[in-house]
Amino acid sequence: MKSRVGASLPAKFVVDSVVTLLQRSCEFHMILVCGPSRLGKFYCEFFLVVFSYDSRCLFIGPRVKIVKRFSDHCRMSAIEEGGERAPLISKEKEGKDSSTYGKTSTNSSASRSYGALSRRQRILNAICILMTELCERLTFYGASANLVLFSQSVLKLGSPWPSLITLLFQGTCYVTPLLGGWLSDTYLGQFNTIYGCCLWYLVGVILLAAVSITDDMLTTAFDTSARLVYFAIALVLIALCAGGIKANVAAFGADQLNQDGPRAVQTFYNWYYWFINTGSLLAITVVVGVQQIDIFSGYAINAVSIIFGLVALLARRNKYLVKPPVGSQLTEIAKITGNAIQNRKQNNGGWMDGAKSTFGGKFSHEKVEDVKAVLRVLPVFVTFILFFTVYFQISTSCLVQGAYMNLKLLDFTIPPTSSMVVTVVFVLVLTPLLEHAAYPYLERIGIKLTPLRRIGAGFLSSAVSMLTAGLVEIKRREVWLAGDICKQEVLGETRNASCLSVFWQSPQFMLIGTGEVLATIAGLEFAYSQAPEYLKGVIMGVFLAATGFGAFLANLLVGVVNDDWYPEKDPNQGHMEYYFFLLSGLMMLNFLLFLYIASSYKYKGSAEQGEEYEKEQDVLQLSVSTQSVRS
């Protein structure tokens, strides 16, 4: 390696240069040059040489400001070379962060640095991912929104099976992200996992459409047992694929904009949730409306939707910033936790410190701290379980309640599922309103809504929504008992409903939507920000698993309470308000538990990293002092 050298350097510059050397991502070299001086004496001096990644000598000399001037050039040279050279990074850290970004391919190992794409290209990447999520959510809600009524009217299943099947299906959809995250991290990578799941998703919705074919359309009887088998296979495929997509799509999209700063990531998550609700809005209006008229055509739309999602995903396939799979982090977490338990008595720190090599363990300090960061968020995620138990009432108990209310709007009969449109529209309006008006205004007057504060506010809104639902149910039954009865047809089945308008459900749906915007968006942001760089898939999967456990808890409650508290077959013959009041009370207790956990939550990282993250949070309008998730 050739270089030119200049005049003697003062000692202070040598020290400053070493500090600069450790802080820069460029390739710097301190070269010791020895030789005779003009006076004939032998001397040795340090010279700072700055090289670009193509080995061109850029600068030799004592002026630090020139070093700074060339730092960007060094980075650009690294980009041109594929970002393959990374000096000043330890082997351990390199192993963790070696997930360079590059061309999306099932076989290619080609890599592309963040800076290789312009901001416009990165935004286009994010938009394509958001469109894929919109189509997937349209397909999911198109398949699941009428599942209770489909099970009752088409499959002729008795109570409480329609609600149990729906909740079990929805819960599985949100637990399978753990499997999807594991597959992505270990074998496939994020893009390939999403792509493969979309393909099998298509198979599942085609099977579900086949199950919805009536005997009249076939001109022969559809064997009941075969119909149930196809129905089960379709739901299993959809649940597995929805989980695989869910585990990866949010983090995959956020990674496209990660270099643009935490504000860009927060904005992505806000739009991510907006696109989710746009998809669900189309499902519970257009798709559900078609299903009310022709159930087969309604389910066939889902297949078309997921095909459009595949097209959107593949549109930028060679431009995405991707991370190659680096191995199972779930397995690594299990090993570290087991080693910590084994050595828990050999250290003076926390119980997880027993896994550190300094305390006789087998793992580095950095890896153990990353696992501790994951374990620290688990108590917060536990409180989301009951929140999602309440959320899933939209598609079960609230749907049953709505089916026995007056569905007439002038001469048009509203599908019971379409009453959920109030929640979706409210979310679509409230999300940008909070993002661009409420949050900036509160910031200007000195009130900072941190993620934990927003989560708490969302929990309160959720509790009040169930209280409101109980009051509406009391009013609905009073009208029915007074003899004000309306006969109406729902999916081909005639029902004696209360003449109280279904629009009385609007307040409870608006409150559920408010809780969704506040708690769920903040929860996603919290999960992403607290995840170490290489554990984002795992921690997002854990957050989504809390959603699934919420559905399982709802399933358990339906099985535990008697038919009087959950009269799914005919709410006119029971007291469903008791069930709503039970959920409201449990949610308030959950809110108090959350307050206790949030008040003692400690953010991961050192003091130095905490200061860096605080600066990022100022940009994000967050006041919680946390560590930066980037190394």
Confidence grade of residue 218 (pLDDT, cut at 50, 70, 90): low
Whether residue 374 sits in one domain with residue 306:
no
Is the pLDDT assigned to residue 93 strictly greater than 50? no
- Does residue 134 form part of some domain? yes
Is 73 a domain residue? Answer: no
What is residue 382's predicted lDDT score, i.e. its pLDDT? 92
Does 28 map to a domain?
A: no
Predicted local confidence at residue 150, as pLDDT: 85
One domain for residues 268 and 310: yes
Arithmetic mean of pLDDT, 298-310:
92
- d(C-alpha 116, C-alpha 121), whole Å: 10
Residue 618 lies in a domain: no
**85 pLDDT more than 70:** no
Residue 52 has pLDDT above 70, yes or no: no
Paired tokens of 442: 């509160």
Domain carrying residue 207:
124-326
pLDDT (mean) for 231-244: 92
Q: Where are the beta strands (DSSP E) in 406-548?
A: 408-409, 412-413, 485-490, 493-498
CA-atom Rg of the chain in angstroms:
29
User: Number of structural domains, the chain?
Assistant: 3
Instruction: Answer yes or no: is 156 within a domain.
Output: yes
pLDDT at 60: 44
Same domain flag for 194 and 215: yes
As a whole number of angstroms, the distance between CA 442 and CA 453 comes to 13
In this prediction, residue 559 has a pLDDT band, given cuts at 50, 70 and 90, of confident
- Say whether both 436 and 516 belong to one domain: yes
Q: Which residue in this structure is represented by tokens 């008006």?
A: 437
Task: Give the model's confidence band at 603: pLDDT under 50 very low, under 70 low, under 90 confident, else very high.
Answer: low
- In whole angstroms, what is the distance from residue 538 CA to residue 330 CA? 7
Q: Above 70 in pLDDT, residue 199?
A: yes
Examine the domain organization and report whether 310 and 408 are in the same domain: no
Question: Which two structure tokens, joined as six digits, stand for 478?
Answer: 């009073």
pLDDT confidence of residue 250: 85
Comparison of pLDDT for 503 and 351, the residue scoring more? 503
Q: Name the band, by pLDDT with cuts 50, 70 and 90, for residue 314.
A: very high
Instruction: Tell me the average pLDDT across 190-217.
Output: 88
Cα–Cα distances in Å, from 265 out to 79, 101, 268? 22, 17, 5
483-508 mean pLDDT: 83
Check if the beta carbon of residue 395 is closer than 8 Å to that of residue 551: no
Q: How far apart are CA 447 and CA 442, in angstroms?
A: 5
For tokens 């597959």, what's the residue?
A: 183
Mean pLDDT throughout 548-553?
Answer: 90
Inside any domain, residue 60: no
Position 213 pLDDT exceeds 50: yes
> Do 516 and 420 belong to one domain?
yes
HEC sequence for 574-600: CCHHHHHHHHHHHHHHHHHHHHHHHHC
| Residue 399 CB coordination number (10 Å) | 24
Residues 511 and 567 in one domain: yes
Do 271 and 336 lie in a common domain? no
For 15, 208, 255, 317, 494, the CA distances from 311, given in Å and listed in that order, are: 56, 22, 21, 10, 41
Please tell me the predicted confidence (pLDDT) of residue 278. Answer: 85
Average pLDDT over the chain reads: 75
CATH number for the domain spanning 385: value is 1.20.1250.20
Question: What gap in Å lies between CA 598 and CA 522, rounded to an integer?
Answer: 13
The number of residues making up the chain comes to: 631
CB 244 within 8 A of CB 189: no
Asked if 298 and 379 sit in the same domain, the reply is no
In the chain, % of residues over pLDDT 90: 21
Determine the straight-line distance between the first and last CA of the chain, rounded to whole angstroms: 30
256 assigned to some structural domain = yes
379 and 502 assigned to the same domain: yes
Is residue 217 very low, low, confident or very high in pLDDT (cuts 50, 70, 90)? low
Model confidence pLDDT, tens digit, residues 264-281? 887 888 888 789 878 888
Residues 339 and 315 in one domain: no
User: What is the amino acid identity at position 384?
Assistant: F
What pLDDT score does 9 carry?
42
| The dihedral formed by the CA atoms of 577, 474, 405 and 302, expressed in degrees to the nearest 10 | -30
pLDDT tens digits, residue range 392-414?
A: 898 888 888 888 888 888 777 78
Same domain, 386 and 439: yes
- Mean pLDDT score, 504-511: 92
pLDDT at 455: 93
Does the residue 31 lie in any domain? no
Residue of 60, 67, 64, 74 lying closest to 4 (CA atoms): 60
- pTM for the complete prediction? 0.65
- Statement: residue 104 has pLDDT above 70: no
| Residue 46 pLDDT class (50, 70, 90 cuts) | very low
Q: Can you tell me the distance from the alpha carbon of 604 to that of 532, in angstroms, rounded to the nearest whole number?
A: 9
Query: Of 583 and 92, which is predicted with more confidence?
Result: 583
264 Cβ contact partners less than 8 Å away, ≥ 6 residues apart: 257, 258
618 φ, ψ to 5°?
-60, -40
